[in-house]
Amino acid sequence: MTAASDRAVDQLRERILGGEYVPGERLGEVELAEKLGVSRTPVREALRRLSAEGLVDITPNKGARVIDYPRKDLEKIFEIRAHVEGLAARNAAEAATTAEIDKLDHIATVLKERSEAGELDEVYRLNAEYHATLNGLAGSAVLTSTVGHLIHSAVLLRTLHSFDPAARQRSVNHHIEIVAALRARDPDWAEAVMHAHLLSARASLLGKRRRDDETPEENA
């Protein structure tokens, strides 16, 4: 890894998440090298790394494109996660030890501090740690595996970058409230907040949901 590659990764990631490069858009090495002020080698390495993160799709003989998840797939990812992680939160409220809840509480507290400071990279890392820790407290390998297959890093990154200040605050509050539900040993409360947490994240990423009789234009 070189400093030029690191810079290219950071700049391209930010431009993709910021919407400058939209889902499905082709990412030409020559054009990117010119825009970023580097040679093609760092660009090629950056594209490989972003492909590993799930932000870029590289097809042999066709080049790289910004990965595109169909809206219906994203809807279902959040819907299924809400149910599965809601069940994980329910199980955790019944099975987690006080020490384990204290650990989750610490993660939620630090996440809140980093969110208020606008440190999005740390928010992303701590958010992933929070959910992984909570899902682990459910004590079910099946649940953990199911959630792992549903969580795509590209979707998580885009979701967090789509949050406005109010959505970030709402997300932080959900994390803290789930800890309170676990301390109260209230599985219904824990499940309900996790369900709301993930559906709120879906709304931040996808906006208003369309009815079956609405066209995209009507919903714009």
Angstrom distance (rounded) from CA 157 to CA 24? 17
Decide if 8 contacts 38 (C-beta within 8 A). Answer: yes
Q: H/E/C letters for each residue in 102-117? A: HHHHHHHHHHHHHHHC
What's the token pair of residue 110? 């630090």
Angstrom distance (rounded) from CA 57 to CA 156? 17
Tell me 65's DSSP state.
Answer: E
Phi then psi for residue 50, to 5 deg, are -70, -25
Q: At what angle do helices 165-183 and 71-95 cross, to 10 degrees?
A: 30
Please report the domains of the chain, with CATH numbers, ordered by start residue.
3-66 (1.10.10.10), 71-206 (1.20.120.530)
Judge if pTM exceeds 0.85: no
What does each of the 220 residues of the chain score in pLDDT, given as a tens digit?
Answer: 578 888 898 888 878 877 788 888 899 999 999 999 999 999 999 999 888 877 888 998 889 998 877 888 888 888 888 999 999 999 999 999 999 999 999 999 999 999 999 888 898 889 989 999 999 998 888 887 777 766 665 666 667 777 888 999 999 999 999 999 999 999 999 999 999 999 999 998 888 766 555 555 444 3
Please report which residue ranges of the chain form alpha helices under DSSP H.
3-17, 29-36, 40-53, 71-95, 98-116, 120-137, 141-150, 153-162, 165-183, 187-206
